Amino acid sequence: MTHDLGPRRARAAPPDPELPFLAHLDELRKVLMHTVAACAVGAIGGWVLAPRVLRDLIRRTVHEAVVLSPMEAFNERMKLAIILGLVLVIPYVFYRIWSFVVPGLLKRERSMILPMAMGSMVMFGLGAWAAYDYVAPLVIRVLSGFMLPGMKAEIRLGALLDFVYNLALACGLLFQLPLVTMSLTAMGLVTPSFLLRQWRYAIVLTFLATAIITPGDVISAQIIMGIPMVGLYFISVGLSYLVARRRRASQAEEEVLGA
């Protein structure tokens, strides 16, 4: 005897555990492709801007640079075009990377990481610009003071650009100091009073650093470069104070709500 059980309910297919991983890989592939394409487009813009930047940099520093091989001018313009192109497209690159990372972050992490990342890019850009506009011309002018009669300066283009790149990187990292102190204060590792008590050590270390970078001319190098660096330290202390005050207010509010 057979019983008609009616149409059997179709069983749902089990979810594929590899699908989310493959979807993430596909999204990562798109992000990388868009980033590479944006850098290529930016490099075209950098190629157009490179001659103007090179002329301005040479005018600010050595007034005349020499090339020692047929390919040197082309190679240096190409490297500068890539760097300028990255600067032009860095906002879009950051947007694409952030859009890929943000779904995996908690709301608190998003509110912390995004301002810090954007602030870091801005401060690095300011540091690099300070190296281009202020530090590199000053350092080269100070070092030229070691020239003696009978010496003739013939600065190679590649050496000049490498020197400026290194200074820009160093100044960009140095300008991260306010963000570092704010982060350490937010985590409770340092306090504004602690940083303020160390101001003597900060000044000494600052002028030691400028003495290493620009040896020989104390007045024009250590004072002119050291004072802005000391100012940056005290700006960092002020920002640390604001973060500490906000942290105390947040803790007090949590205690009130907990009670």
What's 103's DSSP letter? G
Q: State the Cα–Cα distance between residues 210 and 218, nearest whole angstrom.
A: 9
What's 61's DSSP letter? T
Please determine, for residue 218, whether its predicted confidence score (pLDDT) is greater than 70. no
Q: Which residues pair with 65 in a beta bridge?
A: 155
Banded pLDDT at 13 (limits 50, 70, 90): very low
Q: Which residues pair with 155 in a beta bridge?
A: 65
Burial class (CB in 10 A: 0-12, 13-18, 19+), 101: middle
Q: What is the pLDDT of residue 240?
A: 85
pLDDT digits (tens, 9 = 90+) for 154-208: 899 999 999 899 888 888 888 888 888 888 888 778 888 888 888 888 878 777 7
Q: What is the pLDDT of residue 161?
A: 94
Q: What is the pLDDT of residue 9?
A: 47
Q: State the Cα–Cα distance between residues 122 and 66, nearest whole angstrom.
A: 33
Please determine, for residue 259, whether its predicted confidence score (pLDDT) is greater than 70. no
Average pLDDT over residues 17-37: 79
Please determine, for residue 12, whether its predicted confidence score (pLDDT) is greater than 60. no
pLDDT digits (tens, 9 = 90+) for 30-50: 889 999 999 999 999 999 999
Q: Can you give the residue ranges of every domain in the chain?
A: 22-104
Average pLDDT over residues 124-134: 90
Which long-range contacts link 45-48 to residues 24+ away (Cβ below 8 Å)?
45/84, 45/85, 45/88, 46/80, 46/81, 46/82, 46/83, 46/84, 46/85, 46/86, 46/87, 46/88, 47/77, 47/78, 47/81, 47/85
Report residue 121 CA to chain centroid gap: 4
Burial class (CB in 10 A: 0-12, 13-18, 19+), 4: exposed
Q: State the Cα–Cα distance between residues 197 and 205, nearest whole angstrom.
A: 14
Q: Which residues pair with 156 in a beta bridge?
A: 66
Looking at per-residue confidence, does 22 or 160 come out higher?
160
Q: What is the pLDDT of residue 88?
A: 93
82 with 46: CB under 8 angstroms?
A: yes
Taken as a whole, the chain contains a residue count of: 259
Q: Which range is least confidently modeled, 41-50, 53-62, 109-118?
A: 109-118
Banded pLDDT at 17 (limits 50, 70, 90): very low
Closest CA to 27 of 94, 97, 86, 89: 97
Q: What is the pLDDT of residue 212?
A: 64
Please determine, for residue 10, whether its predicted confidence score (pLDDT) is greater than 70. no
Q: State the Cα–Cα distance between residues 130 and 175, nearest whole angstrom.
A: 10
Q: Which tokens in the block code for residue 133?
A: 């506009």
pTM exceeding the 0.85 threshold for the entire prediction: no
Banded pLDDT at 222 (limits 50, 70, 90): low
pLDDT digits (tens, 9 = 90+) for 78-104: 999 999 999 999 999 998 888 888 877
